[in-house]
Amino acid sequence: MERSAYTVVLTGAGISTDSGIPDFRSPGSGLWTRVNPLYFTVHGFKKNPAEFYRFGMGLFQDIMNASPNRAHLDLAELQRRGLVQSIVTQNIDGLHQKAGSEKVYEVHGNMSGATCFRGCRRRVPIEEVATLIFEGQLPPLCRDCGRPLKPDVILFGETMAPDFDEAIKEVRAAELILIIGASMKVAPVNMLPRMVKNLVIINRERTMHDRRARVVIQGDIAQTTRLIVEELDRRAG
């Protein structure tokens, strides 16, 4: 990192589990062990938006209540020091921004708002959606045209968020990509690391890019980022 002129961090669900947000594939605790992924496809939402909200309520509440953990804060610190130029995240929780990070590209969208689905396209803040849900409206409906409101997240079968094009530009400019908490099982994001020669991977399990990486650390993510910051402090001292 000290030698890299341009470092991009790519994060996945694993960086947010310490904030109380479950990942998707961990045995016994991942979201897909409790919820059928079909409800999180654009076809599933179109067919039955009420079921999408019913099964997604737990994740919705987890995200709304979550705070950044040590790993988010450490990455924000590395950005402030100029050692990380940007963050590309698959997460929709907004925790990087809450931790103080800037230049964050959310390739799967986010939970800051919702848009009228195949109706008038009115966009509302997520707080309005939460109010409608807590009032018992499932699915929450657009007050202008009555169509369901869909959170501004990318469902399976949808086109990637506009941030994805910017993320590609960032990765192409990078000398080093640091993958943190990402299983690298979801396309097309899992193809981004192929654009960069130097890879460092911090994850609890193996990924498809381990063989290409210069460094692979399998262990606790927040503990590892803390050790990185402490080592940089030691060298600076």
Distance (Å, whole) CA 115 – CA 81 = 37
In a domain, 147, yes or no: no
pLDDT value of residue 37: 74
Note whether residue 128 is domain-resident: no
CA 52 – CA 46 distance, rounded (Å):
9
- In this predicted structure, what is the pLDDT of residue 34? 62
Can you tell me the distance from the alpha carbon of 80 to that of 86, in angstroms, rounded to the nearest whole number? 11
Determine the pLDDT at residue 35. Answer: 66
CA 139, CA 51: separation in Å to the nearest integer?
Answer: 8
Sign of torsion over alpha carbons 164, 165, 170, 176: positive
| DSSP single-letter state for residue 52 | H
Q: What pLDDT, on the 0 to 100 scale, is given for residue 134?
A: 87
Is residue 160 one of the residues assigned to a domain?
A: yes
**Total domains in the fold of the chain:** 1
Q: Write down the pLDDT at residue 22.
A: 83
Tell me, what amino acid is at 162?
A: P
Residue 59 located in a structural domain = no
How many whole angstroms separate alpha carbon 205 and alpha carbon 42? 29
C-beta neighbour count of 64 within 10 angstroms: 12
Q: Would 41 be classed as within a structural domain?
A: no
CATH code of the domain in which 167 resides: 3.40.50.1220
29 inside domain: no
Told to judge if 108 belongs to the known catalytic residues of this protein, a careful annotator would answer yes
Catalytic residue, chosen from 72, 96, 108, 209, is: 108
Domain that holds residue 229: 1-21+68-108+156-237
Residue 213: count of CB within 10 angstroms of its CB: 18
- Looking at the DSSP bridge assignments, the partners of residue 151 are 114
Per-residue pLDDT of the chain (237 residues; tens, 9 = 90+): 999 999 999 999 999 999 999 876 555 554 555 667 787 899 999 999 999 998 888 788 888 899 999 999 999 999 999 999 999 999 999 999 999 999 999 999 999 999 999 889 999 999 999 999 989 999 999 999 999 999 999 999 999 999 999 999 999 999 999 999 999 998 999 999 999 999 999 999 999 999 999 999 999 999 999 999 999 999 987
